[in-house]
Structure 1
Amino acid sequence: MSGADTPRLHVGCAMWSLKAWQGRFLPHPSTAEERLRAYAGWCNAVEGNTTFYATPARATVASWAQQTDPDFRFVVKLPKPITHERRLTDADTELRAFLDAIEPLGPRTHAVWLQLPGSFTPADVPVLAAFLRRLPGDHRYAVEVRHRAFFDDARSARLLEDLLAAADAEWVPFDTVAFFRTPPTSDAERDAWTKKPRMPHRSRALTDRPIIRYLGRDDTAATVEGWQPWVETVTGWLREGRSPTVFIHTPDNADAPELARRFHDEVRARVPDLRPLPEPAPTEPLTLF
């Protein structure tokens, strides 16, 4: 394959700005526009988690597009009123407002992400089916479920897989196995221990653009050890012609951009013709001495 047909690996983080990144991954001081632009020099994708809490202004989204190249990818989360409060019913007004707001991203919208609450059970799948049927066909969609029956009960898993595959929508796993393998050792890990869901490893792709969310530890060695199965899986997907997106999380996310690049490097060592990531701009002024 070549050109547009060449499989791509997008990697990124849960956000594009974090205080701990300033002066390291991001310039300091910097404006919001400078932070996104700098982040896009480290990673070529980002989770749009902020849209869960409020639909952004269209002008704000247009500024995101202006700060990123056309091959940068956003996975934007549907707002909480749609998925958690209205639970995918009677939310057409909110949905239209959201889709209109993200329109300026154009091809940068990798997928519209439906993160469903843990109370969304296999009995609710018909509601999801009806919602997916109403969605416009000019976006790709990805669904994250957290009720354990979807993972532990083969019939429930197959029910969801069949629905998503028919809609050309992806099932987004949030792999927290490595995180919960041993007790927490830092304040950030202890906080995440009480807030993050205990989700199993799931690695079956339904489309040509699978999306993975992986939670490691604050210890780099433990994070890298925990993602080794994903290196194998992603390598296999690329060889099959799929273009995966992998988001690397840690409890404090302090090293997340560097870790995302390391994951990309590990896969590229196995798939040498994989397109490299952009080169980060220096965060400090260049000097002659």
Structure 2
Amino acid sequence: MKLHVGCAMWTHAAWSGRHLPHPLAPRERLRAYAGWCNAVEGNTTFYATPAPETVRSWAEQTGPDFRFVLKLPRTITHERRLGDVAGPLRDFLSVIEPLGPRAHALWIQLPASFTPGDLDTLAGFLRRLPTQYTYAVEVRHRAFFEDERWRTRLEQVLGQVGGPGGAGGPGGSGGAEWIAFDTTVLFATPPSSEAEREAWSKKPRLPRRTRALTGHPVVRYIGRDDPRLTVAGWQPWLGTVSAWLREGRSPTFFIHTPDNANALMLARRFHEEVRKRVPELEPLAEPVPAEQPTLF
């Protein structure tokens, strides 16, 4: 039984010398991060398909159990809006092949302008995807959260996706997951820092959703710069994630804060708090200290 936790990136200036050794060569940064967390969001792939040697380096720096949730390039999701994308999709899938099982889920983040009227396009796109990967879809249009008809229809579209494990649900990996993107804590009270004000201007204000559709739920939880508020805000998730684990699901939980200064420690703390509720959960490995001990 494992819970995978992680952050939105594996390198951050606020972590250098504090949590991660400094200096670190670029090809060692992911390895150091992987000593703290066992998953990471692949946000950089949204902006461009990485070079093959870059992906090979990612594989070399991580163990086979490490999880990347990789965002499909924006050319596919935002510019071409899932239409006429065979070429860029083929290029992307070819490049990430060296990751093997580390490519835990391919993340289809759709723009807020993607409406219920576009669901047939999504269904057609998902039907054409190779079945050796699992998929996770993120929608931001409020109709999917506020109208039962469209929520049900989206779940039906996601449930029709094939997968390496057959049918979806606790025991299988078939079906595409609906990513839970929780910004409720961020918007609970007015922002108190420049980073929080920027997050308010960019993040969607959506209701919390805790329903898992498959055996591999993915949560993106956005907290606050004050760690106490972040911890207080994730309390409802502790019970949800614990229940998923007991049902045989394999969740991945990502911690964001507007400045991300404490995200590494918070991700590990979330894992520890779930483990208090589910003692059989396998612990995370101990991270390497930022300051390497000397012999003298």
Q: TM-score, normalised by structure 2?
A: 0.94
- In structure 2, how many angstroms separate the alpha carbons of the residues matched to 1:278 and 1:252? 25
- Tell me which residue corresponds to 2:211: 204
Identity %: 68
Shift of 1:200: 1.1
1:269 to 267, 276, 286: 276
Q: Is the 8 A contact 1:214 1:249 kept in 2?
A: yes
Q: Secondary structure at the match of 1:162?
A: helix
- In structure 2, how many angstroms separate the alpha carbons of the residues matched to 1:127 and 1:254? 39
For residues 148-183 of structure 1, give each alpha carbon's deviation from its aligned partner in whole angstroms, at most 9, with x where no partner exists.
000000000000011112211000021000000000
- In structure 2, how many angstroms separate the alpha carbons of the residues matched to 1:285 and 1:214? 32
Could you say which structure has the higher helix fraction?
A: 1
- Tell me which residue corresponds to 1:181: 188
- In structure 1, how many angstroms separate the alpha carbons of the residues matched to 2:219 and 2:249? 13
- In structure 1, how many angstroms separate the alpha carbons of the residues matched to 2:48 and 2:19? 26
Corresponding residue pairs, total: 283
- In structure 2, how many angstroms separate the alpha carbons of the residues matched to 1:105 and 1:23? 28
1:154 to 140, 145, 148: 148
Shift of 1:287: 2.8
- Tell me which residue corresponds to 1:283: 290
1:21 aligns with 2:15: yes
1:257 aligns with 2:251: no
**AA matched with 1:82:** I
Instruction: Summarize the alignment of residues 24-63 of structure 1 with structure 2, pairs less than 5 Å apart.
Output: 24-63=18-57
For residues 156-215 of structure 1, give each alpha carbon's deviation from its aligned partner in whole angstroms, at most 9, with x where no partner exists.
000001111221100002100000000000111111111111121000000001000000
Q: Is the 8 A contact 1:210 1:242 kept in 2?
A: yes
For residues 39-60 of structure 1, give each alpha carbon's deviation from its aligned partner in whole angstroms, at most 9, with x where no partner exists.
0000000000000000001111
**Which runs of 5 or more structure 2 residues have no equivalent in the other structure?**
162-174
Q: Is the 8 A contact 2:106 2:133 kept in 1?
A: yes
Q: Is the 8 A contact 1:212 1:245 kept in 2?
A: yes
1:70 aligns with 2:50: no
- In structure 2, how many angstroms separate the alpha carbons of the residues matched to 1:85 and 1:288? 55
- Tell me which residue corresponds to 2:3: 9
Q: Is the 8 A contact 2:21 2:292 kept in 1?
A: no
- In structure 2, how many angstroms separate the alpha carbons of the residues matched to 1:37 and 1:266? 25
Instruction: Summarize the alignment of residues 105-144 of structure 1 with structure 2, pairs less than 5 Å apart.
Output: 105-144=99-138
